[in-house]
Amino acid sequence: MSILGLLPEHTLRSAYHARQASIRYPLLFAHGVVRRLLDRNLAPSRASSEALRREYLSLLERDFENATQDVYPRELLFEFPLRGYAWALPRLLAEVPRVAMRVRRGGWRELPDDVDTSRFPSYFRRTFHWQSDGYMSRRSARLYDLSVEVMFMGCGDVMRRQLIPPIATLASEHGAQPLRILDVGCGTGRTLQQIARAVPGQQYCGVDLSPFYIEEAREVLAGVPDVSLLAEDAEQLPFRDGHFDVVTSCFLFHELPRATRPRVMAEIFRVLRPGGLFVCEDSAQHAEAADLSEFLEAFAADMHEPFYLDYVQDDLALLAEKEGFEVSAVDRAWLAKVVTSRRPAH
């Protein structure tokens, strides 16, 4: 047992909240500086700020309870890849003036000249979040996880972990036979890494459209046994029908055009076995987060999320149900939501 397992619960809770505060407050200051540099106004109203704070504290409490109830290891509450982020931080800071200039000239098509972008769907050929190279370089991939933590006040992994509980429950019911788990839009592999830490001994697979992010995921997941990673299009998954016991997706659907989302959802349904589990996490939407509507719409304008405004109106749970899934839960996770569903057994 680690030392965290020996700490009284109140001491562990205090340490966890202190750790999150030590990340959050410097980042709040940094956000204000960056907004001024970029001449962007993402500052929410008082009502939205209160809703953000309330849901933020609720997310931290849920994360803490999951760890203390052994849904996932307590160590995950404090894990932060400091070595990798220390490498990335000066490079991320150097990106701020480049991003500022890109925002001012509207350069959302500025992608690397040495990449054949024609092999990617048109919606993918852009600088999402105004980030340099979009998803088309290893440099972008190496900076991505830190940029997510900066954007979400150190809660990137905290939000990702909220899709673990239903997977952990299924694994405990499944017995000795490993689950086949697929993460669609796996990016740099951080979600799969969190799942593998919480539910070890399974067969893990990740697919992502960006080969550069798949390269990064191979490094992130180097210590995880029985994992395969493929650069593939979620609209045409290269797997037989019903192959997987669990499919996950984390922060993918809000970056897809409205017409593409049903096709990806249908592919997920196809490769999931009857009775299998689908856990989808993505940005909050108007359906369950009307108190954040002002913030969500400002985010779309400021962060170059071209498909986000219709995404927040199109409830993910309804989309899953239209493709045949049986939705069992929709849970808030601060700025995210988790939709848990099953492919019908018959």
Residues 6+ apart with CB under 8 A from 108: 102, 126, 127, 130, 304, 306
Alpha helices in 133-237 (DSSP H): 138-151, 156-160, 164-174, 190-198, 211-220
Residues 6+ apart with CB under 8 A from 204: 181, 183, 192, 195, 196, 221, 224, 226, 227, 228
Compute the residue count for the chain: 346
Q: What is the pLDDT of residue 18?
A: 93
Task: With beta carbons less than 8 A apart as the criterion, state whether 43 and 295 touch.
Answer: no
pLDDT digit string (tens) for the chain, length 346 residues: 566 766 788 899 999 999 999 888 877 777 666 666 666 655 667 887 888 899 999 999 999 999 999 999 999 999 888 778 888 888 888 888 888 888 888 888 899 999 999 999 999 999 888 889 999 999 999 999 998 998 898 899 999 999 999 999 999 998 788 999 999 999 999 999 999 999 999 999 999 999 999 999 999 999 999 999 999 999 999 999 999 999 999 999 999 999 999 999 999 999 999 999 999 999 999 999 888 887 787 777 677 788 999 999 999 999 999 999 999 999 999 999 999 999 999 8
**pLDDT tens-place string over residues 97-153:** 888 888 888 888 899 999 999 999 999 999 888 889 999 999 999 999 998 998 898
**Residue holding tokens 């500052």?**
43
Closest among 182, 343, 328, 329 to 275, alpha carbons compared: 343
| Cβ neighbour number for residue 82 with a 10 Å cutoff | 9
For domain 157-290+308-342, the CATH class is: alpha beta
What pTM was computed for the model?
0.94
The helix (run of H) or strand (run of E) holding residue 308 is helix 308-311
Q: What is the mean pLDDT of the chain?
A: 91
Closest among 261, 276, 294 to 51, alpha carbons compared: 294
